[in-house]
Amino acid sequence: MGFASAVASALQGTRADNRRRYIYSAIPLGEAGHNRGRQRTWRVRPLKVLAAFVIAAAALSVVIAYRHARGATREHADTSSQSWGQYSPFFSVPSAIDASTPDGCEVTFAAVLSRHGSRYPTASKAEVYRLLLDRVQKSVSRYARGYEFIEDFALDPGVDSMTSYGENELVESGIAFYQRYKLLARDSDPFVRASGSDRVIMSAQNFTQGFYRAQGKSYDGALEKILVLPEGTDFNNTLDHGTCPAFENGPNSAHAREKQKVWGDIWATPIRERLNTKLPGAGLTVQDTIFMMDLCPFDTVATAGATMSMFCGLFSADEWHGYDYFGSLGKWYQQGNGSPLGPTQGAGYANELIARLTGQAVRDSTTTNSTLDSSPETFPLDRKLYADFSHDNAMVSAYAALGLYGKTDDLPVTSKLPPLKAHGFSASWTVPFAGRMYVEKMRCGGEGDEELVRIIINDRVQGLDGCGADHLGRCKLGAFVKSLSFARRGGRWNGCYS
């Protein structure tokens, strides 16, 4: 069975919009800020965008470090995009362990699991933001100093799709992946998969573009080979959730929102009171206040160079840390280790990773697609490089299924826990826009030594639990696989239907 026929067989019976043909053409320059979410044609930016992005990235490092002059209020200090939770643009997370390949070691395998790049708000959230702004602009009688811009502010019309800045994040990610694993790329092309939403598919495309352009090769043929996995309740997809009814709609599905509400009432109430003083007549609630803070990251990444939004300077650094923690509570208690069924949603991905690491067939009865995973055309086991593209929620579940952040206790809801005290867990440190996990296998020392496994998330080496990790965060392959007993036995998949 050929590649196309294997995919067609696996997708039989799914919705028509998930079977459409993907057409690739160049992304014209100068379209930043326009809504591209509803277009059916996939576009790939030309090479000169790489140079432009290097300049933009350099500018961003300065912009992020200092508050935008017009957006800053006198009473508040600088804010940082690294505290915007899951809406943070990608950044390198500090690591206690050197992430470079240790001397005397050779990387023999590398897989990346990546989130899509920075995006516009979802259509539903964009409508909420527009209604809020309309209400504020109609009801406020006077704007305090530093808040005047809100009177005429209009949200970018883009929804759901990646922004120009987000597209470039993934080009840069592909370049970085090639630069790190260029020795493997000499005789192995990456096998690339993407979950089936537009922004995730485009992320896979732009990553692929960056990867091949970095080595001076054409990427056209590689784009056509990207395997797209449809999203929804009728298709098993390890890069997205949706096939576990109890997780989606069961009694614990509102667990995270309840935790967030407790923290939100503590942390955001003083902010709400200040905003209502500065914007008399607005009548903002705690939830409105959090939505106002959302406008900072979304307005920032809507610009090609991620120019800091004027909303960002309305809030202090400590308030942004509280905002990041609000997002962390959502991820921990909805998809992560604090959720009864969250880690189970990542078991399928973990079992696929085991198969790739060991070169053995996938053994799983959760979210894997047996038709795809049993074919060497759609799930090869002989590659040295793999790249998967997904969403933040699915990635948090995958991390949990892999046993990551196992030393992190359940996050408290009445006070915030800094990422370092949470053993590296926070929304911004784990799943920022364009966030990524590298899984490496390496050979060190003598020929007979067993290969070692190491995991790096956003440039931070993760301590592996339960497999006897060494001082460089690595476990022997056999011990690592053995430590994934939760995923290998299917997690709590039976609970999906109870």
Q: How far lies 282's CA from each of 93, 143, 150, 154, 267, in Å?
A: 37, 10, 12, 17, 19
pLDDT computed for residue 138 by the predictor: 98
pTM for the complete prediction? 0.86
| Residues of the chain below pLDDT 70 | 1-79, 446-448
**Distance, CA of 390 to CA of 357 (rounded, Å):** 20
pLDDT computed for residue 429 by the predictor: 98
Domains of the chain: 3-497 (3.40.50.1240)
DSSP symbols for 240-265: S--S-HHHHHSTTTTHHHHHHHHHHH
pLDDT by residue (tens digit) across 395-438?
Answer: 999 999 999 999 999 999 999 999 999 999 999 999 999 999 99
The candidate with the shortest Cα–Cα distance to 345, out of 485, 247, 438, 426, is: 247
Instruction: Please state, as a whole number, how many other Cβ atoms lie within 10 Å of the Cβ of residue 257.
Output: 13
pLDDT computed for residue 13 by the predictor: 33
- The two structure tokens encoding residue 163: 């922004």
The candidate with the shortest Cα–Cα distance to 430, out of 469, 411, 404, 402, is: 404
pLDDT computed for residue 430 by the predictor: 99
Catalytic machinery residues: 116, 392
Beta carbons within 8 Å of 315's beta carbon, 6+ residues apart:
76, 79, 271, 293, 296, 323
DSSP symbols for 467-486: TT--TTS-EEHHHHHHHTHH
